[in-house]
A and B are shown apart, each in its own frame.
Chain A
Amino acid sequence: NAGVTQTPKFRVLKTGQSMTLLCAQDMNHEYMYWYRQDPGMGLRLIHYSVGEGTTAKGEVPDGYNVSRLKKQNFLLGLESAAPSQTSVYFCASRRGEGNQPQHFGDGTRLSIL
């Protein structure tokens, strides 16, 4: 069972470059999420989606865009990377009904120089 798969696992970018992080889940989950994890700050929600074709802003959406063209995929884009976006990014998904737990990928470690 793959669960939630994130690609790439590591990436180094220069300031101003763009890139897309891919999240794929094979559990037919309705909801998907992107978080960033920074030391001492826990996980902060960037964007989330409650279904195919829908997206919404989380706590820290500035500088990021997302798309959910297919139910199983949730893409996170950085249009013009900044050093402040150096972080570990986690994708998660969950079933739609009830207060279900989220299932997480293994993360993408992104460094912006």
Chain B
Amino acid sequence: GDSVTQMEGPVTLSEEAFLTINCTYTATGYPSLFWYVQYPGEGLQLLLKATKADDKGSNKGFEATYRKETTSFHLEKGSVQVSDSAVYFCALTFLDYKLSFGAGTTVTVRA
């Protein structure tokens, strides 16, 4: 079945550092891909999405490109802030309308 594998954490960075969280997927077709973010004590919020190959999703300085050839959707941000400390989830959805999530990556940014 469809599945998502994302980089294990936790990841600890200094402010203004570059962040990459790897995400790869397995699917029989061409799913839509998402990154969700969960801040402490809150539910998941959609961060960005891409619905077809070579699409780039972006929001709040984060970017991810849908790479069909490598079945990947890596999340990047050029200069992180303390407020970016959160858990990040990669997810996909396909024809059955359900989301398959990765295990989540905890990111801590230190001032």
Contact = CB atoms under 8 A, between A and B. Distances in A.
A99 interface: yes
B89 A106 contact: no
Interface in A1-53: 4, 31, 33, 40-43, 45, 48, 50
B34 A104 contact: no
Contacts, number: 49
Interface residues of B, number: 22
Interface string B94-111: 100111011110000000
Contacts of A50: 97
A107 B39 CA distance: 12
Interface in A94-113: 94, 96, 99, 101-107
Given A31-B97, A42-B103, A50-B97, A99 B32 contact: yes
Most buried by B among A42, A58, A92, A99: A99
A90 B44 CA distance: 9
A38 B99 CA distance: 16
Given A31-B97, A101-B46, A104-B44, A42 B34 contact: no
Most buried by A among B32, B41, B93, B99: B99
Interface of B: 31-32, 34, 36, 41-46, 49, 51, 89, 93-94, 97-99, 101-104
Interface of A: 4, 31, 33, 40-43, 45, 48, 50, 58, 90, 92, 94, 96, 99, 101-107
